[in-house]
Structure 1
Amino acid sequence: MYGRYAKRKTIEQRIAQFKHEAAKPNSFGHQLRDGDLIFHTSLSAQSRAIQLATHSPYSHCGILYQQNGQWQVFEAVQPVKLTPLADWMARGQGGHFVTKRLRNAKAVLTPAALARLKAAGQPMLGHSYDLYFGWSDDRIYCSELIWKVYERGLGRRLGQLQQLRDFDLSHPAVRAKLLERYGKRLPLQETVISPVSIFRSPELVTVLSR
């Protein structure tokens, strides 16, 4: 009981810290734009396996939208939802994150285009998180959400689609997670999009790293 209480208190302290930081006059908030993508190293139980399998420190991502003057992250957790940016930062390793933006965002992300982007994500709001990384819309994982929202809303495909077999499945931690999720029947031909594939998309430029 004490351990869970201490952990909850630590997270609450981190959220308060990031909210305070975001409110400073020289905050990073003014550098963000609606539709930006944000990446960090999640503290979730599966994060290490994702990092090892994809050879990347970044294991979670979302889309930034501003609502009522506050930055929110549209993300696939449990369930798909909008999360205040400070809360999202508190769930990442060291509060570190990187934001990316379309190279031609100034010309492309018009108010009408942003409305289409948001409309594309609306049907997935409230869907359960996909622990099995399937490609159907029944359940959604983080990079899948980004890929589908941008493809359906703007016709832009960010990152290279792969199959599960394309990842490095050799590490014991990865194999253990696969066994936990799938047993001995691995869906090696399942279509997958990883956070790092989107992160490395040539259509994106880095806006902020902190």
Structure 2
Amino acid sequence: MNVIHFNYSGLINGEEISGNAILQADSESGVIQGNASFSSLPDSFTPSLASWSFLSISCSNSSKRVDEANNILDFSNGEYTSRREVELFNSAGAFLGSVIINGVFTKVSDELYIADVIVSANYNGPVEINFPDGYLMPLNAIDDYKLEGSFEKELFTNESEAILTKNKQTYYFNNGVKIPLSSIKCELVYNTDESYWLQDSKILHLIGESTVSPL
């Protein structure tokens, strides 16, 4: 069981944010479970706008391997950077804002990692968003130092208003790779019955399953 400790800082809508989280990931079953809390996060924002990337930027870290695919820890020595860039649009195509989440991962021991995450976001739109059900994302090997992919995800407000998110993901391998990179497909499915975000207390509880398969 791998454990990742997250430390959050950055600016959202011009306000400083601060928070921390612990995520557990089991590469045998693919199950991930995490809890995040924020001592400061503006009411004008919710992490659901980035498909819970505050935690899921580590989605391929310890994914269950399907058909002999490799996850991020197979490729790396545990030292890597995960960057998620998100653009948001309403149903009429108007631009609502953007989110950049940059996490630097450091290996402490064989099953313990630290992620220092900096968030930069500007957003002007609804925050009462239904919990997303996950996403499917191809990751293409670029040379010998990064994996890059993208996906689109439609979110819905409590009043069924659609918000389109365009997501770009890049993994950088800071200290090289253990084995040659290969393109993979990452699928993350959230347990929407047991996962939740508490907007008033700024607490996120996330349960899901992550798998990687050959692309």
Interval of TM-score (by shorter of Structure 1 and Structure 2): under 0.3
TM-score (norm 2): 0.23
Which structure has the bigger radius of gyration?
1
TM-score (norm 1): 0.24
Higher strand share: 2
Higher helix share: 1
